[in-house]
Amino acid sequence: MGSWFKGFVLGVAALLGLSTAGEPPAASMRAYRDGSMLYAAVEVEGLPGSDLARLVDSSFTVRLRASMWAGDDRAEAFRDVRFNGLRYEVRFSETGGAHSTTDPKAAWAMASRFGLIALGPVSSKSFPMAMGCKVTLELPEDEGYDPMVVWGYKPAAAYNELDSLGLVPYY
């Protein structure tokens, strides 16, 4: 589908009130560790929602970008969700791999989970420590349009405070 047509569809939907800004979904974040590294696992709950599902079903590639931090260390990961008319494809930034399915619920379940993203060496952390994440929406192939209107221009976010390393479970 042409870029101009996608823009036209988004504009008409917003103008007619068919697509209204909503609230971002809830996000949760948990810390894990191994012998040397601290990791974060993030889940965005309640995806996709009707407006986000319509974007993907109308051939947009939607990117969920998770930006995480723990102390001074930062990390990013993303999931690209695409529908080609027959199958949903979810691409993972950490591995470069992709999974495809005909079930939209399975595709969104894969896209909503960011597991064990490295947030730096445990030895560099001092406690208590703040950690958090923000998940935003992008259209990597159609950068002229901002899909964050679906979430009212607010990211899905989570925030935790870790009192000590002893409270962080091993994965």
Domain segments of the chain: what residues? 3-167
What pLDDT, on a 0 to 100 scale, did the predictor assign at position 29?
Answer: 97
Return d(Cα 34, Cα 167) in angstroms, integer: 13
Residue 12 tokens read as: 């008409």
First to last CA, the chain: 43
Q: What is the mean pLDDT of the chain?
A: 89
What pLDDT, on a 0 to 100 scale, did the predictor assign at position 134?
Answer: 98
pTM for the full predicted model: 0.84
pLDDT tens digits, one per residue of 90-146: 999 999 999 999 999 999 999 999 998 999 999 999 999 999 999 999 999 988 888
Return d(Cα 26, Cα 155) in angstroms, integer: 9
Residue 74 tokens read as: 């930062």
Instruction: State mean pLDDT over 74-102.
Output: 96
